[in-house]
Structure 1
Amino acid sequence: MTMTEQVAPPALPDRRTLPAEEQHATELAFLAAHDDGPRPPGWALTPRAVVTFVCGSGGETLELPGSRRAKGGGGGGGADGADGAGGTAPPARLTIAPKFVGERSLVERCVVTLAGERGLLLVGEPGTAKSMLSELLAAAVCGTSALTVQGTAGTTEDAFRYGWNYALLLAQGPSRQALVDSPVLAAMRAGQVVRIEEITRCLPEVQDALVSILSDRRLSVPELAGTPDALTPATPGFTVIATANLRDRGVSEMSAALKRRFNFETVAPIADPVAEAALVRGQATAVVRRAGAAFGVDDAVLDALVTVFRDLRSGRSAEGWDVERPGTVMSTAEAVQVAASLGVAAAYLPGGDVLDLVPGHLLGVVRKDDPADHARLLGYWDGPVRRRAEDGSAMWRRLWDLRENLR
C-alpha cells in the first residue's frame, strides 16, 4: 500500500430510530394492496387496514389477491406513496405484527374519529404509548407522521397557524413566498394528519388557535387579504391527533370550546403482565441494539422487574397484598428504560450479576418527584419482596438480600 492509498473505514450499522412509515413501509404497502375497500378521502389505507396495521393480524398470514398482486399493489404504503422500501412491489403474503399493546376497541374508536375528520385527543398517564399510537395512526392514515408540533410553555401561536420569512417580508411585503407554513397549515394544504404532543403544556391562548381551525376547517391570513392565499380551506383528509398527560391536568387547562372539538380517548396502562413483559423485552432489546450490543438480560430478571413496576403502579401486588403507591409514575416506558440500562450494563460492564443493579435503578425512578417515595420503595421491599422471599423464591430472596442497596 502506498502512502497515498487510503483504507475505507468500516461501515457502521444504521442505528437510527426511523419514523413509523419507514420502519413499517412493507406492511403499509402490503395493506394498501390487500384491502381495496372504501377509504375516506385522502387516506392511504382503509380504516379496517389501519386497525390491522396498529393491532396486527392476530398471527394470521394475509395473502394478496392475485388480481391485486398482478397490478403491483393498490395504493401508497410508505411515505410518498411508495409500495414498500425502495418502491418495490409488496410481498404476496405477510403476517402483520402488533405494534400497540392495548384494546383493539380503543384503536377502532380512534380510527372512526379520524375518518369523521374530528380531532382526536389521547389522554392517559405518562408512559402509556400515547405518542407511539398517534405516530402509528398518522403513518397509516396519510403515509407520514412528520407533521408534528411539540407543545411546551414556549410554543407560540405560529406553531399552529403560520409564521413569516422576515427577510422576504421586509423585501417584498406580505406574500405567499414569505409565508412559513406551520405543521398544522401544511397538513391542511395536503389533507394529512398533524400531531400535537403535550397540548396541555401550551398556553391556553395558544391552544385556542385550534378552535376555529377544527370547527371551520379553514385558516385565514389577514395579511394576504385580497389575494387567493388569504384563505386556506382544509383538504379532505386533514385531521388533528393531540396527546395530553393526566399528570399535567391543570398545567394549561383546555378551554371548553376546544374540548368540544376533540373526541377524548384514554390510553390505559397495559393490563396483561405477560404482554407488558414481552413489550419491555422487545423495546429494551431495540435500545441496546442501537447502542451496539446484544440484549443479555434473563427473562426471570425482566419478569421480576415488570412485577415490581406493576405492583407499585397499581397499589396492589399480584397476590392481593396492599402496596403504598409512590407519587411518581411507574410506567411501562420507565420499565423499558431500566431494562435497557440493565442490558447495556450486561454488555459493556460484564463480570457482575445484573440483578444486583435492579434496586439502584428502581430507586432512581422512584425518587424523581417526591423524596418520600424512597420510604415507599423500602416499604415495598419489607412487604411483598420479603414475603415472596419467605415463600422460597430464589429470585426474590436475592432481591431481598439486596435491600441495603436502597439506602
Structure 2
Amino acid sequence: MSTQSPNEAILRQHAEQEFAHEIEALKAVDEHPRPPNWALSPWAVRTYLMGGTLSNGVEISPKYIGQARLMEIAISTLATDRALLLYGLPGTAKSWVSEHLAAAISGDSTLVVQGTAGIGEEALRYGWNYARLIADGPSRAALVPSPVMHALEHGALVRVEELTRVPADVQDSLITILSEKTLPVPELNTEVQARKGFNVIATANNRDKGVNELSSALKRRFNTVVLPVPATLEEETEIVERRVGRLGRALELPVETPALQEIQRIVSVFRELRQGMTADGKTKLKTPSGTLSTAEAISVVNSGMALAAHFGDGQMRAGDVASGLLGAIVKDPVQDKVVWQEYLETVVKERSDWKDLYRACREVL
C-alpha cells in the first residue's frame, strides 16, 4: 500500500502546487502595492521568478535564470491593459515562464489554450453542450466556457501556447477580447466583460515564423518579450542542473544528480554546435538542423540518469549519454550525421578529458 500523499503521487505538479510554500512565504512579507486581483505584488512576482532570500529567512528558488530586466518588463506588461507575447527559440523557457507568471499572479496556471493547426474558435471563445442545446435551446447552462472566458469572468491570467500554430481566422477572435476586454455571446444577446486582473500570456517560437503569421492588428495588442538562449555556459549549466535535479526527484530515479562537470560537458556540446564555433573561437563548425535547446540538453541528462540508475552502477557516465546526444543532434540522418561525425573527430577527439565521450559516441554511430 502506497504511503504517498495524493500530491506526492502526481508526476508533475502545477507550479502553484509545487512552489506553494514559496508563494505563501512571499505573501507573508509582501507589503508592496498589488494590482487589482493579483495574489502578489510585482516586486514579489519578480522575486518568485528570479529567486532570493526573504526578510523572514525563507529561500526562494530561481525559476528563470537570465536577465532580470526581461522578467520586470513581462510583469509590468501584465499590470497594464497590454497582453504579453513571449517569443524566442524552442526551449528558451517560454512556457515555463508563462506558467510561473500565472501561478504567482493569479494563483492558477491551469487556464491554458494549446495552439495547434486544427484548433477551432471555440477554444478561445466558448462552445456548446449540444445535448442541453437541443433539449433547452441556447442558454447560459448550455454554454461551455473556454479558458479565456473563464479568465475574463474571474479576473485571471490565461495562457495561449504556440499562438503562431493557430490558424489566422481563429487568432483574430482574440482581437475583440484584447482591445475591448469583452467577449460577445450573440446567441444569448449578451457579453462577458473582463474583471480587473484579466490578461493574456501567449507564447510563440521563431521556428514557426511564417506558419500562421500574426496580423498587424493582433501584434499591436501584445507587448513582445524575446527570451534569448542562455548567455553563458555557466548560466545554461545551472539551468540544466536545477531542472535535472527536480525532475530526478519527481521521477524518483535511484541515482544522484550528475557531477557539474558532466552536465557542463553536455551543455558545451550543445552550445558549440548551436553557435557553429568552439568555445575558444578557434574552430568553425557546421551546425545541425535541430535547435539544440536547453530543454533538449535537460532531456539528454535525464535519459542518461535513467540508464545509469536502471542498467548501470548508479553513476552517469559517457556511455549513458552518448545515445541521447545522437538522438538530439542527428535529426536529419544524412546531413546531421556528417555534422556530428566531424565534430567528434575535430573537437571531441582532441580534448584529453573527453576521450571517454568520444569512444562512447563512436560506438553508437
TM-score of the aligned structures, taking structure 1 as reference length: 0.84
Instruction: Give yes or no for the alignment of 1:328 onto 2:290.
Output: yes
Secondary structure, counterpart of 2:127 in structure 1? strand
Instruction: Give yes or no for the alignment of 1:48 onto 2:43.
Output: yes
Secondary structure, counterpart of 1:180 in structure 2? strand
Distance 1:16 1:53, change over 3 A: same
Deviation string 1:1-25 (CA, Å, 9 cap, x unpaired) is xxxxxxxx24356352111111111
Deviation string 1:346-389 (CA, Å, 9 cap, x unpaired) is 1100159721233322111122256311111111112221332x
TM-superposed deviation, 1:106: 0.3
Secondary structure, counterpart of 1:387 in structure 2? coil
Distance 1:102 1:189, change over 3 A: same
CA distance in 1, matches of 2:131, 2:137: 10
Q: Which residue of 1 aligns with 2:204?
A: 244
Q: Which residue of 2 aligns with 1:397?
A: 355
TM-score of the aligned structures, taking structure 2 as reference length: 0.94
Q: Which residue of 2 aligns with 1:379?
A: 342
Contact 1:378 1:406 in 2 (8 A): no
Contact 2:82 2:222 in 1 (8 A): yes
Which amino acid in 1 is paired with 2:260? D
Secondary structure, counterpart of 1:134 in structure 2? helix
CA distance in 2, matches of 1:187, 1:354: 47
Secondary structure, counterpart of 1:141 in structure 2? helix
Which residue among 33, 51, 54 is the counterpart of 1:62? 54
CA distance in 2, matches of 1:199, 1:42: 26
Which amino acid in 1 is paired with 2:50? C
Trace 1:189-268 onto structure 2 (pairs within 5 A): 189-225=153-189, 230-268=190-228
Deviation string 1:16-57 (CA, Å, 9 cap, x unpaired) is 211111111121122123122211111111111111110012
CA distance in 1, matches of 2:215, 2:332: 28
Distance 1:268 1:180, change over 3 A: same
TM-superposed deviation, 1:403: 4.8
Which amino acid in 1 is paired with 2:44? A
CA distance in 2, matches of 1:269, 1:52: 21
Which amino acid in 2 is paired with 1:404? R
CA distance in 2, matches of 1:369, 1:151: 26
Which residue among 85, 106, 126 is the counterpart of 1:121? 85
Which residue among 300, 303, 306 is the counterpart of 2:267? 306
CA distance in 2, matches of 1:356, 1:134: 36
Contact 1:199 1:242 in 2 (8 A): yes
Contact 1:327 1:370 in 2 (8 A): no
Trace 1:3-402 onto structure 2 (pairs within 5 A): 9-12=1-4, 14-57=9-52, 61-63=53-55, 92-225=56-189, 230-296=190-256, 297-320=258-281, 321-351=283-313, 354-369=317-332, 371-388=334-351, 393-394=352-353, 396-402=354-360
Distance 1:10 1:146, change over 3 A: closer
Secondary structure, counterpart of 1:210 in structure 2? helix
Contact 1:281 1:339 in 2 (8 A): no
| Count of residue pairs the alignment pairs up | 359
**Sequence identity of aligned pairs in percent?**
43
Distance 1:10 1:260, change over 3 A: closer
TM-superposed deviation, 1:262: 0.5
CA distance in 1, matches of 2:191, 2:360: 65
CA distance in 2, matches of 1:95, 1:304: 29
Segments of 4+ moved more than 6 angstroms: none
Distance 1:205 1:370, change over 3 A: farther
Contact 2:66 2:235 in 1 (8 A): no
Q: Which runs of 5+ in 2 are unaligned?
A: none
TM-superposed deviation, 1:313: 1.4
TM-superposed deviation, 1:104: 0.2
Which amino acid in 1 is paired with 2:348? V
Q: CA RMSD in A?
A: 1.7
Q: Which runs of 5+ in 1 are unaligned?
A: 1-8, 64-91
Contact 1:21 1:145 in 2 (8 A): yes
Contact 2:305 2:320 in 1 (8 A): no
Distance 1:379 1:406, change over 3 A: farther
Deviation string 1:293-348 (CA, Å, 9 cap, x unpaired) is 23333333222111101111111221112221111011110000000011011110
Secondary structure, counterpart of 2:223 in structure 1? strand
Deviation string 1:65-121 (CA, Å, 9 cap, x unpaired) is xxxxxxxxxxxxxxxxxxxxxxxxxxx431211111121000000011100131100
TM-superposed deviation, 1:251: 1.2
CA distance in 2, matches of 1:369, 1:52: 42
Which amino acid in 1 is paired with 2:356? R
Distance 1:37 1:281, change over 3 A: closer
CA distance in 2, matches of 1:344, 1:93: 35
Say which is worse superposed, 44-53 or 367-376, in terms of deviation.
Answer: 367-376
